[in-house]
Structure 1
Amino acid sequence: MQYGAELYVLGAGGAFGFNLGDVLFQLTMFLILLALLRKYAFGPVLGIMKEREEHISNEISEAEKSRKEAAALVAEQQGALKAARQEAQGLIENAKKIGEQQEKELLEKARSEAARLKEAASKELEQEKDQAIAALREQVSSLSVLIASKVIEKELSEQDQQQLINEYIKEAGESR
């Protein structure tokens, strides 16, 4: 048990059984280890943590920016859709007005064409009536002359008959 006695001897030099040299040695080693950890472990780890924090912060900022852009784009699209609907409504109303105007114009043209055709038909009917009356007068005069000539033929000479026909034709022409 000699080994246990040496430990006791080493530990007997300090208060509560601690040796001051060992404590200082361990404290020095701890500080060196802490400095090495700080330089080689904590520095890079903190750098990585800082980069990660900045990356996350940038991602959050970009996400917020994207959300705002998306909201603005949605609002813009809604405005464009509303404008398109209004434009379509205006086009429909304009087409209705044009259709009504064309309907009125077509009705007016049809009425004026009907009136023109009616007037033309009336004129043509009047002309045909006049021609029929003239033809009828001519036939009546021819028949009258023929009848009169047969009646007179028995009593008049050929020369008197010709003179009578000419006078009758003149009278028929003047009464027209």
Structure 2
Amino acid sequence: MLHLILAAAPEGGDMFHQLGIYPSGLISQIIVFLLLGWLLNKYAFGPVLSILDERRKTIEQAQKDAQRVKDELAQAEAARAEIIKKANDQANALIEEARASAEKIGQQKTQEAVQQAEAILKKAAEAAAREREQVLAQVRQELGQLVVTTTAKVVGKTLTPEDQARLQKEALSQLA
């Protein structure tokens, strides 16, 4: 086709010759250039571009994986914080429950101690009353015997058991 253009152009061939361009050399150079471009594209640029594309995909995947790991780490951190918060809340609830239980037990023990003290005081009062009654009974008996003995000495004769009982009753009735 270039031959036709050169042949149709008046003095066109001279112009190319003056510039140092020869149509046969130009065509062979174009063919060699296209062949070299095709070979470079197939055996040099193609593999290099495919390697670069694979690396780009690997880098993108690594970035996605890194973002996924970062998101998972954030979720794990949030879950850990939530678990710690729940554990703290449960611990605080247990502490409050233990305090309330200890206070309740303390109040129960105080009430038990008061009841025991009241029981001891009641028993002591009952024992004192019994002892007082025993002492009074003993004093009455001794007083009755003393009255009988004193009366027998004053009268100068031995009293009969009926007289002794009567004198003891009279002395006791005067004391009461």
Q: TM-score range by the shorter chain?
A: 0.7 to 0.9
Residue 164 of structure 1 corresponds to 163
Q: Deviations over 1:42-99 (max 9, x none)?
A: 1211111111011001001101111111111121122122222222222222222222
Identity %: 27
In the alignment, does 2:39 pair up with 1:36? yes
Aligned-residue Cα RMSD (Å) equals: 2.7
1:130–1:34 Cα change, 3 Å:
same
1:13, distance to aligned residue in structure 2 (A) = 7.3
Between the aligned partners of 1:91 and 1:140, the Cα distance in structure 2 is: 71
66-75 or 83-92: bigger deviation? 83-92
138-147 or 62-71: bigger deviation? 138-147
Normalised to the residue count of structure 1, the TM-score between the two structures is 0.77
Unaligned runs of 5+ in 1: 1-10
Looking at both structures, which has the greater relative contact order when contacts are Cα pairs under 8 Å and sequence separation is at least 6?
Answer: 2
Structure 2 contact 148–164 (Cα < 8 Å) conserved: yes
Residue 140 of structure 2 corresponds to 137
In the alignment, does 2:120 pair up with 1:117? yes
Between the aligned partners of 2:18 and 2:93, the Cα distance in structure 1 is: 100
Q: Deviations over 1:101-133 (max 9, x none)?
A: 222212221221222111111111100000111
Aligned length in residues = 160
Structure 1 contact 145–165 (Cα < 8 Å) conserved: yes
In the alignment, does 2:85 pair up with 1:82? yes
1:34–1:161 Cα change, 3 Å:
same
1:19, distance to aligned residue in structure 2 (A) = 1.4
SS at match of 2:157: coil
Normalised to the residue count of structure 2, the TM-score between the two structures is 0.77
SS at match of 1:58: helix
Between the aligned partners of 1:86 and 1:162, the Cα distance in structure 2 is: 89
Between the aligned partners of 2:33 and 2:66, the Cα distance in structure 1 is: 45
SS at match of 1:120: helix
Output aligned runs, 1:1-150, within 5 Å.
14=17, 16-150=19-153
Between the aligned partners of 2:33 and 2:152, the Cα distance in structure 1 is: 168
Unaligned runs of 5+ in 2: 1-13
Between the aligned partners of 1:95 and 1:162, the Cα distance in structure 2 is: 76
